[in-house]
Amino acid sequence: MRDLRVTLVQSMQHWENAAANRSLFAGKLEGLKGATDLIVLPELWTTGFSMNAALAETMGGETVRWMKEQASRTDAAIYGSVIIAEGGKTFNRGLFVIPDGSVTHYDKRHLFRFANETDHFNAGSKRVVVEWRDWRILLQVCFDLRFPVFSRNKGDYDAALYVANWPEARRYPWSQLLIARAIENQCYVVGVNRVGMDGKGIHYTGDSVAIDPKGEVMASCGSATDCITHTVCDAAALEDFRAKFPVGMETDDFDLKI
C-alpha cells in the first residue's frame, strides 16, 4: 500500500445554484493536476444544505459529468455529496468518482431530522467502502459522524471521509467526534465542511481537518475562510501502528441491522 495524497477543499457555496457552484469549484481545482490522489468537497456542494428536492439531478446529469471530467483532468478521485433522484426516490448521495469515469455512491444513512431532511430525502441502506490506489475508504456524510456503530471498523477500511454542512453552533462536537472516529477505528479521518452563510441564514465555520490514527491533526483549514489544504496519509505508519497496538483484536463482535 502506497501513501495517499489528500486535498481538502473548504468553501462557501452558492445557494441552490449548481451551475455557479460547479464554476466555483472548477476554479479551486484548477491547479491540482497530478498533485493529489483524492479531492474531498463538502456535503451538497452544488446547492448548500437545501431541502428542495426539485433541485435533484440524475446520475447522468451535469454534475456527475462535471465530476468525471475533473477526476480525469486531475488524475484524482473526487468525493462530495449531491442531491440525486433515482428510482422515484431522492437522496443526499455521496459520489466517489475516479479518473476512468467510474462512480461509487453512498446514500446518506443518518438524515438530519432536525432540519426536516427526513421529510425530503430517502435514507440510504448500505455501508459503503470503496478501494482506491490500494486504500480502502469508508464513505460518510455529515450527521453519520454522530453514529459510531455505523462506522465501526471491522478491519475493512483504512480511511474515513466525512463531508458536511455542519453549522457553527455545533462546531465543538464536529471537531471532537472526528478525532474520536480516528482513534477508535485506528484509521485516517478526513472531514470537509463548508464556510459562510447559507440561504436559511445558518452560519458555517468550516474547521475542515485531516486526522491520523492516533488522533493527531495532520492538516486543518481553521474557521471562517475558504481554504484548500493538503496532507499525506502514511501507509507504513498506519500498518506499523496497527501491528504494534492491535486494539481491533479485542473489538466486540456485532451485526449491524439497517
Active-site annotation holder among 16, 68, 142, 187: 142
- Give the closest residue to 148 by CA, choosing from 170, 176, 106: 176
Q: Confirm whether 154 is a catalytic residue.
A: no
What the block records as the C-alpha cell of 23 is 464554476
CA angle (226 as vertex; 222, 232 as ends), nearest 5: 60
Active-site annotation holder among 16, 43, 57, 117: 43
Q: Confirm whether 43 is a catalytic residue.
A: yes
In sequence order, what are the beta bridge partners of 170?
none
Which of helix, strand or coil describes residue 168? helix
CB atoms within 10 A of CB 236: 10
Using DSSP bridges, classify how beta strands 89-97 and 77-86 pair: parallel, antiparallel or unpaired: antiparallel
- Give the closest residue to 213 by CA, choosing from 182, 184, 243, 190: 182
Q: Confirm whether 227 is a catalytic residue.
A: no
Active-site annotation holder among 16, 57, 108, 117: 108
- Report whether 29 contacts 93 (CB < 8 A): no
For residue 48, count CB atoms less than 10 angstroms from its CB and return exposed for 0-12, middle for 13-18, buried for 19 or more.
Answer: buried
Taking the alpha carbons at both ends of the chain, their separation in whole angstroms is: 31
DSSP label of 124: P
- Helix (H) / strand (E) element for 94: namely strand 89-97
Known catalytic residues are: 43, 108, 142
